Structure 1
Amino acid sequence: MKQKYDFFNLSVWNILSQEQSMLDQARIKLLYYGLFLAFVALCAIAGNVFIQHQQIFTSMSIFLLVMVVAMFKYLTWKPDWKPISHILLTVALIINLIDVFLIIQKVEIITIQVIILSVLFSYYMLGQKWGLLYSLANVVPVLGFMVYAYGNSYIVAMKPEDVEESTKIITIMANFIMIIYIHSHFYNAFVKNIRELNQTTAEQSALNAAYQASMEKAEKSSQAKSEFLSTMSHEIRTPLNAVIGMSNLLQMNDPRADQLDNLEILKFSANNLLSIVNDVLDFNKIESGRVEFEKIRFNLVELMNSICGGQIIKAEEKGLKFYLDVDKRLRTKVIFGDPTRITQIIYNLVSNAIKFTSTGNVTVRVSQLGDRHNTLSVNFMVKDTGIGIEDEHLEAIFEPFTQESLTTTRQYGGTGLGLAIVKRLLELQNIQMHVTSKVGTGSEFSFNMEFPVSTEKVVEPVVESSPQAPEEKGSIYVASSTPSVGLQVLIAEDNPVNVMLMKKLFSKWNIVPTFADNGENAVELVQYGNFHIVLMDLQMPIMNGFDAAMEIRKMADPKKSNIPIIALTASALFDIKEQVYEAGMNDYVSKPFKPDELKEKIYALVEVV
């Protein structure tokens, strides 16, 4: 904010402000006290030359006195030190040259003093550029005069004036005082500036050290949080693995109708808890900046059918109509992108739509917006006829652990992380989510995404009947893919509940399991046994799964060192996949695992004899 100054102000402290730099304040003080000293000196000179009846010097003194008073008054009203400095230097230059070339017609000590004053004043007040300009403007003409006068008689149509000794003494004394004052003033200002700069540097260093310590503390806190979430995930997923696994086993034993209902409730609750754990872990992964987007080939139509396949069942269970409308032009397109992240985004949006819709329908529409030679622009839209969102809550729903209201949380449940994950994933790809909603009518979420397109054309798939038939090609139940003899599987697992689950599950798959309760025992069993595949838990006592896998890969017998190894883990560490492959394992399955997924991976790695 610009400060206003009173016209009648005479104090220098009223024209100084915190907005001015230390150097500018020093320049203003120099002008203030320098003009005051000049005023005193000119008064003495004017009185002396007046007494000596030297009219020219008297007129010049009075003119300079008026100029000094005017500039002093202007400075105390508006502290614009730059124009005042230029005026002072220009007047001093003109007066000095007039004295040398017309009035005195020679170079005296006063002339030299004025030049020195102009050089000092111009550099200190206006900087190097103007200092050099005013220095040359003062020095060059005077040197030129001296060189000319040295070999020639300097004659002009004006009689030179003599300066009385008393006037010389006063002038010389005043000039020396000004020279000493300028040096002293700016030396003090520079020393003070250096001290404060050193103090500021020390404070800045302390702040940087504190900032660095805070950053390290924040990094440690973030790492501790990740490790805590990983540990808690492992501890939660381990019993969940048993709950979900036993539920699956019980469902395979042809339970009664009432038992089946109870098992469905049990399995639903366990899956719901697993979903909450996964949401927290996914959000933590996104917030930590460890998300990498893949660029792999996939067919968007097939992906959307896969995503919405299970959601249709959920919608029908609530009595909702579910519509999936995918642009026909996309059926023959092969695009590059990250199908996992697209699945995560669409799944969360559709799950929310179904959750908050009690009657009506849910519509998922995928439309092609533009098709350039190598880029495809696609619009994704999820629309429902649910409870809707109030305008003032549209931003809040994308915040983590936040829903529209406390009533919504209590009535519909959930962590409030689904939309936060969606928003973060889109923002990381510079994509904007658009939301329109009306309370009691429904909501619509949409966004546009661009994909690189392959020139390869896909033949539209032919729909086959009886997709659940055991003989169908591509199913994990294909008869030709299952060995006629029992597979010998080594399972490294230290949790007794999981051991019990594996025994019951594998007995139904014609698999003969052997169990090791730690990594060291697993290595010994592989060394002296004969197995088709190893299922390796990662967190075990004595020797963990990573070290055990690496020891197996070092074995001399190539049949044993190359045995397929599948990691079984309940961990949620972000780089678990890379660690698994670096340890030499072939694949991994997260706990709680789906029985069909585990079986498919086992048979995919085992060579059928």
Structure 2
Amino acid sequence: MHNKAGFFNISIYKILSKEQPFLDQARIRLLYYGFFLVFVACGALLVSVYFQGQMMLARTSVFLMVTVAVLFKALTYRPRWYLISHILLIVGTLVNASIVYISLQSINIITVQVVIIVIAFSYYMVGQKWGLIYSLLNTLPVLLFLIIEYRYNYVIWIKPDNIDEATKMISLFANFIILIYIHSHFYNAFIKNIKQLKKSAKEQAVLNVQLARAIEKSEKSAYAKSEFLSTMSHEIRTPLNAVIGMSNLLMMSSPRPEQKENLEILKSSANNLLAIVNDVLDFNKIEAGKLEFESIRFDLTEMMNNICGGQILIAEQKGLQFKLTIDEVLKNKSFFGDPTRLTQIIFNLINNAVKFTERGSINVMVTCLEDRHNTITVNFLVKDTGIGIDEEKLNSIFEPFTQESLATTRKYSGTGLGLAIVKRLLNMQGLKINLSSKVGVGSVFSFNMEFPVSTETVIENAGLQAENAEGVGLKFLKLLIAEDNMVNVMLMKKLLSKWEITPTIAENGERAVEFMQYGNFDIILMDLQMPVMNGFDAANEIRKMADPKKSRIPIIALTASAMADIRDRISEAGMNDYVSKPFKPDELIEKIQTYVAVA
């Protein structure tokens, strides 16, 4: 549709546009100027046959002139060249058949020329398929007429027109002009199109080079971003490991009540900082599609108490009531899933509720919706009496780096990643977050999740395993730690001394390989980023040792890295498992016990 071309338009420039393909523009020009030539030719032919009294040919000429005029008007109003070409070819086919069978009742050079014009025009305008169809529709009737005339002498009741030499000359001249125009026009169009294609090819080649450079630059940028995040993760998590680890050690040393409260606040603040770091790093993993979910055993009740422990202190400091309700059916059951990601989801929801509530209460409810013996569907609900969310913002609130308003961001701070991560983590598991909220009243977030469960009863004291480590002979364990950070070394020694384990320390990967060559160990805790030789290379060297006992020693990686492919890299290096820094003492000792028992 061309807005410039009105009904009374006769200009070709108003029906052409740069958006049209070059050959389409050429076809429109062919029709536009070709109609003029055909109209003039038919007019000259009309004058010649009319004065000779050849009325059938005169009527045919008038019909063609009217048809050409109507189609010309249609073209200049709406340039639907494909439809107009078909109409013109149908008219030409019918006119050609009427001239052969009715008007002249013979075949001469004029009728042959008309057939040639139709054939050439059809192939150029409507393509090979229709060109072949129109060619057959024009040549077969002519061939059939020749056969009939040869065998039976064609005779009908209508008397044919007889044309003189002047009329033949006019017809031949007009036909030659039209044929020359058609071929000349399209030859020129094809040459220009080829030049344009060559030019486009050169431009495309330049664009391809630029695109390749842009892709290479993007890949380098992505790699640099990944390396930066990995480095930042390591540099931030390493001191956090010491802060949280020392807090754990001090809390295990029976502190006084006021000391325990201070340690709880210290640990809670460190965990909050760790949660922020994890949000940024995990969001990068989610966006890269590299995040994977585990399926390990965990105690849902213990997990919820751990999540809410630090948040209860913050809520009480703000004068808020905090209530955690866990369905009795869910207690003392062993669940299977990814407690790390589930913790991340629930922590972000509760943290938001506490952050955006100035007065009132926070209610966290964990309810059993359906118990099918070996699977349980659980509903997690976080309800607050906070500032609420405007209805128009309910969808955008789950977008990354977004909060309800700029004023909200300034007042309550935060990364704006919490709810974005919650939604994406749930979506990746085929789950949906439900939200209802009213400004000034509060918000309710909830979601359902199905877990496989074990019929075994959970041991209520999670630290029992660690405390009874001596019972399984851990104090005689020969443990090698490859770690270059002296604070972490001190922390590990103090932690392991709780279970009467005296480790051997290697300050880098090369020293760890040397210790393995000349000594015997039961298990290795391997830091990944170390000077001289990193943990990956050290693990590879150990796996190549000739002594099968040494080459198959369990190796647990200690990593503060956040790279999306860290799990794959650890596996490729031949290490058995990994523990992320800052690690939980119970998690570390449990993995040590597991691999020592297997070995």
TM range (shorter): 0.7 to 0.9
Q: Tell me, yes or no, if structure 1 residue 233 matches structure 2 residue 227.
A: no
Native 8 Å contact 1:362 1:385 kept in 2 = no
Q: CA deviation at 1:115?
A: 1.0
Structure-1 residue corresponding to 2:360:
359
Counterpart CA distance in 2 for 1:518 and 1:462 is 39
Structure-1 residue corresponding to 2:303:
307
Q: CA deviation at 1:289?
A: 0.9
Which sits farther off after the overlay, 593-602 or 270-279?
Answer: 593-602
Instruction: Number of aligned residue pairs: give it.
Output: 593
Residues 561-583 of structure 1 show CA distances to partners (whole Å, capped at 9, x for unaligned) of: 44443322222223333333433
- Partner of 1:31, secondary structure, is helix
Residues 204-238 of structure 1 show CA distances to partners (whole Å, capped at 9, x for unaligned) of: 44434433433332222222111111111111222
Q: Tell me, yes or no, if structure 1 residue 550 matches structure 2 residue 550.
A: no
Native 8 Å contact 1:487 1:510 kept in 2 = no
Native 8 Å contact 1:315 1:354 kept in 2 = yes
Counterpart CA distance in 2 for 1:174 and 1:11 is 24
Give TM-score, length-normalised by structure 2: 0.86
Structure-1 residue corresponding to 2:136:
136
Q: CA deviation at 1:53?
A: 4.6
Q: Tell me, yes or no, if structure 1 residue 524 matches structure 2 residue 514.
A: yes
Matched to 2:455, the amino acid is V
Structure-1 residue corresponding to 2:555:
565
Counterpart CA distance in 1 for 2:493 and 2:87 is 100
Native 8 Å contact 2:554 2:596 kept in 1 = yes
Counterpart CA distance in 1 for 2:579 and 2:334 is 28
Native 8 Å contact 2:299 2:458 kept in 1 = no
Counterpart CA distance in 1 for 2:138 and 2:45 is 23
Native 8 Å contact 1:39 1:65 kept in 2 = yes
Q: CA deviation at 1:262?
A: 4.8
- Partner of 1:363, secondary structure, is strand
Structure-2 residue corresponding to 1:395:
395
Q: CA deviation at 1:462?
A: 8.5
Residues 314-343 of structure 1 show CA distances to partners (whole Å, capped at 9, x for unaligned) of: 454334242334494x78999875454334
Structure-1 residue corresponding to 2:282:
282
Q: Structure 2: where are the runs of 5+ without partners?
A: none
Q: CA deviation at 1:182?
A: 1.0
Native 8 Å contact 2:537 2:573 kept in 1 = yes
Native 8 Å contact 1:93 1:137 kept in 2 = yes
- Partner of 2:12, secondary structure, is coil
Structure-2 residue corresponding to 1:344:
344
Give TM-score, length-normalised by structure 1: 0.85
Structural mapping, 1:164-179, within 5 Å: 164-179=164-179
Structure-2 residue corresponding to 1:116:
116
Which sits farther off after the overlay, 181-190 or 45-54?
Answer: 45-54
Residues 498-528 of structure 1 show CA distances to partners (whole Å, capped at 9, x for unaligned) of: 2333344444432223322222222222332
Counterpart CA distance in 2 for 1:87 and 1:534 is 85
Matched to 2:143, the amino acid is L
Counterpart CA distance in 2 for 1:484 and 1:100 is 110
Alpha carbons of structure 1 residues 352 and 543: separation in structure 2 relative to 1, 3 Å:
same
Structural mapping, 1:471-482, within 5 Å: 475-478=465-468, 481=471
Q: CA deviation at 1:544?
A: 1.9
Matched to 1:385, the amino acid is T
Structure-2 residue corresponding to 1:444:
444
Counterpart CA distance in 2 for 1:591 and 1:462 is 26
Which sits farther off after the overlay, 112-121 or 132-141?
Answer: 132-141
Structure-2 residue corresponding to 1:590:
580
Alpha carbons of structure 1 residues 38 and 589: separation in structure 2 relative to 1, 3 Å:
closer
Residues 506-560 of structure 1 show CA distances to partners (whole Å, capped at 9, x for unaligned) of: 4443222332222222222233234443332222222222222333333344444
Matched to 1:309, the amino acid is N
Structure-2 residue corresponding to 1:501:
491
Q: CA deviation at 1:425?
A: 1.3
- Partner of 2:503, secondary structure, is strand
Structure-2 residue corresponding to 1:514:
504
Structure-1 residue corresponding to 2:425:
425
Native 8 Å contact 2:390 2:438 kept in 1 = yes
Native 8 Å contact 2:54 2:162 kept in 1 = no
Native 8 Å contact 1:327 1:368 kept in 2 = no
Residues 419-444 of structure 1 show CA distances to partners (whole Å, capped at 9, x for unaligned) of: 11111112323433221112332211
Native 8 Å contact 1:312 1:322 kept in 2 = no
Counterpart CA distance in 1 for 2:591 and 2:551 is 19
Counterpart CA distance in 1 for 2:575 and 2:176 is 89
- Partner of 2:291, secondary structure, is coil
Counterpart CA distance in 1 for 2:333 and 2:485 is 47
Counterpart CA distance in 2 for 1:177 and 1:272 is 87
Alpha carbons of structure 1 residues 19 and 515: separation in structure 2 relative to 1, 3 Å:
closer
- Partner of 1:362, secondary structure, is strand
Native 8 Å contact 1:379 1:448 kept in 2 = yes
Native 8 Å contact 1:353 1:382 kept in 2 = yes
Structure-1 residue corresponding to 2:481:
491
Alpha carbons of structure 1 residues 199 and 429: separation in structure 2 relative to 1, 3 Å:
farther
Structural mapping, 1:247-286, within 5 Å: 247-252=247-252, 262-286=262-286
Counterpart CA distance in 2 for 1:554 and 1:514 is 21
Alpha carbons of structure 1 residues 231 and 107: separation in structure 2 relative to 1, 3 Å:
same
Alpha carbons of structure 1 residues 46 and 376: separation in structure 2 relative to 1, 3 Å:
farther
Counterpart CA distance in 2 for 1:505 and 1:564 is 20
Counterpart CA distance in 2 for 1:336 and 1:23 is 65
- Partner of 1:476, secondary structure, is helix
Residues 112-146 of structure 1 show CA distances to partners (whole Å, capped at 9, x for unaligned) of: 01111122222323333433333222222221121
Counterpart CA distance in 2 for 1:342 and 1:268 is 18
Alpha carbons of structure 1 residues 208 and 138: separation in structure 2 relative to 1, 3 Å:
same
Native 8 Å contact 1:361 1:385 kept in 2 = yes
Counterpart CA distance in 2 for 1:82 and 1:556 is 79
Counterpart CA distance in 2 for 1:442 and 1:548 is 54
Native 8 Å contact 2:527 2:535 kept in 1 = yes
- Partner of 1:231, secondary structure, is helix
Counterpart CA distance in 2 for 1:148 and 1:462 is 102
Q: Runs of 4+ in structure 1 displaced over 6 angstroms?
A: 330-336, 373-377
Counterpart CA distance in 2 for 1:195 and 1:177 is 27
Residues 275-303 of structure 1 show CA distances to partners (whole Å, capped at 9, x for unaligned) of: 22222211111111102345x476xxx75
Q: Structure 1: where are the runs of 5+ without partners?
A: none
Structure-2 residue corresponding to 1:458:
455
Alpha carbons of structure 1 residues 234 and 162: separation in structure 2 relative to 1, 3 Å:
same
Counterpart CA distance in 2 for 1:528 and 1:113 is 101
